Chain A
Amino acid sequence: MGCWNPSIEKMPRKDLREVQYRLAKALISRIYETSEFYRRRMKEQGVRPDDIRTLEDIRKLPFMYKRDLRDNYPDGLFCTPRDELVRYHVSSGTTGKPTVVGYTRHDIENWSESLARAFSSCGLGRGDVLQVSYGYGLFTGGLGVHYGAERVGATVLPTSVGNTERQIELMQDLHTTAIACTPSYLLHIGEVAEKMGVSIRDDTDLRIGILGAEPWSEQMRDRIQDWLGIRAYDIYGTSELSGPMFTECSEQQGIHIWGDLALVEIVDPETGEVLSPGERGELVITILQKEAFPVIRYRVGDVTVMDEDPCACGRTHPRIRRIQGRVDDMLIVRGINVFPSQVEHALLEIPEVGRHFQIVVDRKGALDTMLVRVEVSEEAFSDKITDLMMIRKMVEHRLKSSLNVGVAVELVEPGSLPRFEGKAKKVVDRRSI
């Protein structure tokens, strides 16, 4: 697919690292001057801007956490005079205070540039009509995607969220070719359309979905693509980074993180140690060119894997895999980090069992035990005990190979497992330390 900024997107990796170093160095020097918060943090860590002599030296800097943002509400972390701000966004504060993000004109430009590259890499551009069904307003999704789409010359249809029947009518009348929304909302649109007698596949021009702002899976992608007849791309970002910034390219093999805009590290959530590409851990991001509200080594809390191999599309920037869960959900079983989402993904690949599960962690003597309770699917239920025992063995084996830790599996009756998301019910930790 067309490259928006080929000289940057296909820059040799070595040159990209040089650019990253130069930008990181400039950023750190600037915020040391302008931000009391960062200066104090760096002094506490005993590190000065001069100590940053290679790109790896950024690891000398302390991490930033969500609580730093809350503690400095509303604008204690801003590094530019207030009159340079052209916009605020505010993230919802489901726990504690909300966080406020400010943008200079240049920040908005870079955010739009990031999405312009991303959208071009999914084949979205001039001639397309992008229906933006993310919320507009304090949430970054609607306006962020809006500016990115205008930048590539697409026509924006800013429907925002809700009034699904009207969304479908407009989709038909104005020949929408792409939609940006949550994957679950797109499924809802598909269902409502069917009730209206409209087939998204046959009766609309929709061909691309830019989907995110909630966790979703490869299985969900397959379902959306097969059912609606479109290509569905994962989009990633959080308000702390600016908003949605990065997407997959047409290869659908991970999300390209533009290295000149963001520096990605993957760390062990427990120790903070930087992990190698291919290792699963917590995403840490430094936004390299942010003016108003820079984030340095920000612990996003999302779990993923970084991939530094060149992409088949020819872009050289590193990719991250689909977000696999939240660090808050992590369990440590016999010293191994286990995420409930790994169990979920493994089970989705096994048709003999349902998608619902419960993890029970216990301690026998000095040893942790992990039990995963699953339901036998209707198709796989056999009257023969030996068949059921084989299913159990097979699930144990598959879970062990994907989690790297031994797991016992228990088959339970359908409907007996918690149906709702959330760690509270999906994980029972009986260990008493």
Chain B
Amino acid sequence: MRYLALIFLFIAGTAYADPPDNYPFVSYDAGLQQAQQKNKPIFVYFGRHGCGFCAKTNKESFSDAELRKRYIDNYVLVYVDAESGDRLTLPSGERITEAELGARLNVFATPIFMYLDQSGEVLFRAPGFKTIKDFVDFDRYIQEGHYKSKSINEFLSM
């Protein structure tokens, strides 16, 4: 069993896909389309290959079944590899790479989590490792509409 665990760790550590397992993450442009169709806000996860705090977030927060259900139910989930040359189409029709999207949105470190409305406008961004409680609070901030009248700090201090 010990060796199996080591093998698992090795496989997990070298995984190509960096978003958490078993989440229906889609590309940025597909997510914008789905958000319009489903009338849902968008949760964008900017990560990069080998990002330590992305792995920590995946392991300690996104592994939670209740959080997973909450975010799948409430958002269109988008993952952007902040180093990738894969192309996507912006609502304006412009085609850029995932890395260029990160540059334009000032994704200076990873992970950065962004909450967007159905049109793609950024409502709130949260950089760095976040706990399960953080993600639940952020979800309430968006879903209950507090972002319209309060900063995230004002909301959290209520």
User: A and B: real partners?
Assistant: no
Q: Which residues of A contact B (CB under 8 A)?
A: none
Q: Which residues of B contact A (CB under 8 A)?
A: none
